[in-house]
Structure formats: C-alpha cells, structure tokens
Amino acid sequence: NGVTHLDVAVIGTGYVGTTTSIAFAAWDHKVIAVDSDQMKIARLNQSILPFYEEGLERRLERYRESGNLSFTDDLEQGITRSDVLFIAVGTPSSPDGSADLSYVEMVARQIGQMMDKYKVIVTKSTVPVGTGDKIKSIITDELKRRNLSFSFDIVSNPEFLREGRALYDALHPERVVIGCETETARKTMAALYEKVEAPMLYTTIRDAEMIKYAANAFLATKISFVNELARLCDKMGTNIMKVAEGMGLDSRIGPQFLRAGIGYGGSCFPKDTAALLNLAKEQETMLPVLQAASNVNRTQVSWFMERIHHIMGSLAGKKVTLLGLTFKPETDDVREAPSLKIIEQLLQNKAIVSTYDPQGMENVKKIYPQVAYKPTPYEALEGADAIILATEWREILDLDWTKVKDLIAQPYLFDGRNALVPSVMRNLGYCYVGVGIDGRG
C-alpha cells in the first residue's frame, strides 16, 4: 500500500520515549524501546507503564502483541537492529538551571561505539541549541577510534506532547518540526511521519532545537502574564477570568494558556525556561521578558499564600485541606508542582495539613511524610478550617460540595485554579476566594 515500515529504536522510556514509541508502532513501524533500567523494562514487558497516562497501557499491550513494539535493556540490540535511533533520555536541570546533557552524551557515545552502518540519529529530548553538533562530534570521534568511516545523519525532532493528553498529542500533532541537513535524513523523517496529517516544518538542526525552547517559553510567558495581571485585578476589583476571555477572543491572542492560577509546574516549563535563560546568559544576551515570566511564576504561590494569611490570620494549629497535588490533572506527576510549595509554606506556618489527590499522593508522601494522605477527599476534608484547591481534577470539582460543607469546621475555600464557579460556591455558604477574580483583596 505504499506505506514504508521503518525499523526504529527509541532510547529512554520516560514520558516522551514511551509515548513516541507507541505512536510509531501505531503508524506501523517496528519499534524497539530501550532503557538501561532493567526493572522498568521488565514491567514494560508486562505492559505496565512507569507513570499514569490514560489510554496508554492498552495501546502498549496492543502493539506488543502485534509485534510492532518491543522493549529491551540491551542497547546494542536496539542500535544494530534499527535504521533510525531516537534519543529520548532525560535532560534534568543542573543546579545553575542549564540542561544536564550527561545522559544524552553518554547515549551518543554508546551509539558511536556500537553502530555498524549508516543511521539516522534523532533527538526527541529537549536539548539546548548546539546539542546536535555535540552529538555529531561525539559519534564521529567514536567511529574514528574504531577506524570506521561510514556516514550518519543527525536530526532534531522536538516533541510537543502534553502530559495527561500524551497519546492524543503524539498521534495528532499540530505540527512536526524536523531539523535536518541532508536529503536522506529528510526522506527518512518524511517516511516516519507519512501517516500524520499535520504540517511538517523542515529547518536546520539548531533552529529546531530553538523552536522547542521558544514554544515552551512563550506558553510559560502567557501564563505568567495573566498571573501578573491577576494580582492587579485583585487590587482593582476586576475579574481576570473575564479579562482573559475578552483578550482570548482576539485570534491573534487566542484563548488558551490564559488561565490564571498558582503558576505553572511540571517537568517542562520551569526546566526549559531556566535552560533558555541560562543559554542566553552564556551568550551574554538578556531575555528580560522571559526572566520576568519566570520570576512571576516563582513568587505566585507566595502571593497566593499571602492572600490566605490576610483573610485567615495565623494558620498555626489550623487544619488546612489541600485538594490536588499533581502539577495538573490526569497525571501522577508532581515535579515542580505548586502544591509542593504550598505544603512547604503551610508546614512552616505550623498548619495541620491533610490532602487528597487521585494519582499524586504516593509521589508526595516521599517528600512530605508529615502530611495526612487520605483515601477519599471527604476524609481529607473532615474538620477543615480552610480548603485549598491546587489541581483542578474533575473528581475534585465534582465533589458534593453541600456534603463537604457539613464536614468542615470553617467555610474558607481558596481556589488556586479558578476552577469552581464562585457564585455557586458562595450560594452554598462558602467564603470563596479565587485568583484575581474577587477584587479588593
């Protein structure tokens, strides 16, 4: 039927690697996913994901059974059996904010040590501009050492999927960005994405690397912009939700990523903005807009907690129930979640903290064992003097708020995501406080 089946290895089975593997398997390529973590591979071989993501496990099982997808901890096997190698290992933040490339560089070295013929080597991990060049020189050095002289191509193909919607985003991307510099690489990438209807943008490797950072930095800036305005709205008696709605109807602005709240978290925005700022610093270039966006995000939880103190006075000895822990709904990811800063500040202020989250409790328990983790939201809410909503899980928004009212000691409800309907909550008797919607705080 004219469709090309490619042999693909995806190195790294984190969020991006696993989802990418499943997407390529769905498009009928033969995928070997590789990870050095044997436990992880053993579980993936039983179709168990290392993280929670709706719909992904069923697909995993399906493509393992169809033979399109397999998992191994043997990198050499992954490398020698495939024509296209995706690097999807982690790029955590170093203490100075720069991206730590040690995993990427280690994989590049191993590829150079093990490859046996021409390959297309693609970065999926989010990496600083210039990483493609680095990978190229590492592999070239290794091949020289082995007295081998066949060629290879480097491609940058950043991933734009969102956690919680990973499968959908991977299967239906809005665009595919390919940074490549040879015709062979371009043809291979076109064949890989043959079944995708989205626009394909071909650029240089460095441009593709920059696009990924630029897109995340811009989205983070959009959020910080409304969060900053929300602070003013609170002083002025204006409503940021209405203001954002009015702004978003302008197609040049667009309605998305204008929801004010307690700030962005997750494994991407905080890390990628820090990495881009660091990259700029190395080039002795200022990015004042992005710097400001990052500052607003860093202080947004404190600003919100100030409001709580202003309304409630001292929190010492008060029982505070935190609803939602993950950095956003539909994930178990708590990396850089605003809820962690909230817990930190509540504990500092000697509040008694109880919490409920549909997926995130195990991950937070490891960091804050002194918080009470409850199996149901209602148990977490018993006797509460204040409720803080930190993640807008459907299950939390859909609580029986009349029943909740009878369980709590005082009706203070602080909605850190502007996710509940203020008039409804106030009619039920709550003292409802959102972010930039109440005025004169």
Query: Under the criterion CB under 6 A, does residue 387 sit at the interface with ligand UGA?
Result: no
Q: Does 188 bind ligand UGA (CB under 6 A)?
A: no
Q: Is 160 in the site for ligand UGA (CB under 6 A)?
A: yes
Nearer to ligand UGA, 111 or 268 (CB): 268
432 DSSP β-pair partners = 413
Q: Are 212 and 26 in contact (CB under 8 A)?
A: no
Rule CB under 6 A: which of 222-261 touch ligand UGA? Answer: 223, 257-259, 261
For residue 126, the minimal CB distance to ligand UGA (Å) is 6
Measure the N-to-C terminal CA separation of the chain; round to a whole number of Å.
64
> What is 178-194 written as a DSSP string?
EEE-SHHHHHHHHHHTT
Q: Confirm if 435 and 416 have CB atoms less than 8 A apart.
A: yes
Residue 47 CB, shortest distance to ligand UGA, in Å, is: 23
The answer to whether residues 160 and 268 touch, using CB atoms and an 8 Å cutoff, is no
Q: Which of residues 108-147 bind ligand UGA (CB under 6 A)?
A: 126
**By C-alpha distance, which of 66, 415, 90 is closest to 268?**
90
Specify the stretch interacting with ligand UGA by CB under 6 A; choose among 21-29, 61-69, 266-274, 373-381: 266-274
Q: Shortest approach of ligand UGA to residue 433 CB, angstroms?
A: 17
Site for ligand UGA in 281-340 (CB under 6 A): 327-328
Report the residue from 162, 206, 307, 405 that binds ligand UGA according to the rule CB under 6 A.
Answer: 162
Annotated catalytic residues are 268
Of 12, 17, 112, 266, which one interacts with ligand UGA (CB under 6 A)? 266
Helix 131-145 × helix 102-114 angle, to 10°: 30
Among 35, 142, 163, 385, indicate the residue that binds ligand UGA (CB under 6 A): 163
- State which residue, 56 or 75, has the beta carbon closest to ligand UGA: 56
In degrees, rounded to 5, the angle at the alpha carbon of residue 268 between the alpha carbons of residues 201 and 182 is: 30
In angstroms, give the least distance from the CB of 352 to ligand UGA: 26
Rounded to whole angstroms, how far apart are CA atoms 328 and 392?
A: 7
Contacts with ligand UGA: how many residues (CB under 6 A)?
20
CB of 210 to ligand UGA, least distance (A): 14
Q: Which of residues 19, 123, 216, 354 is near ligand UGA by CB under 6 A?
A: 216
Q: Give the type of residue at 117.
A: K
Lookup result for tokens 């109440």:
438
β-bridge mates for residue 123, sequence order: 87, 156
At residue 159, the 3 state secondary structure works out as coil
User: Are the C-beta atoms of residues 290 and 215 closer than 8 Å to each other?
Assistant: no
Residues engaged in binding ligand UGA (CB under 6 A)? 126, 159-163, 216, 219, 223, 257-259, 261, 264-266, 268-269, 327-328
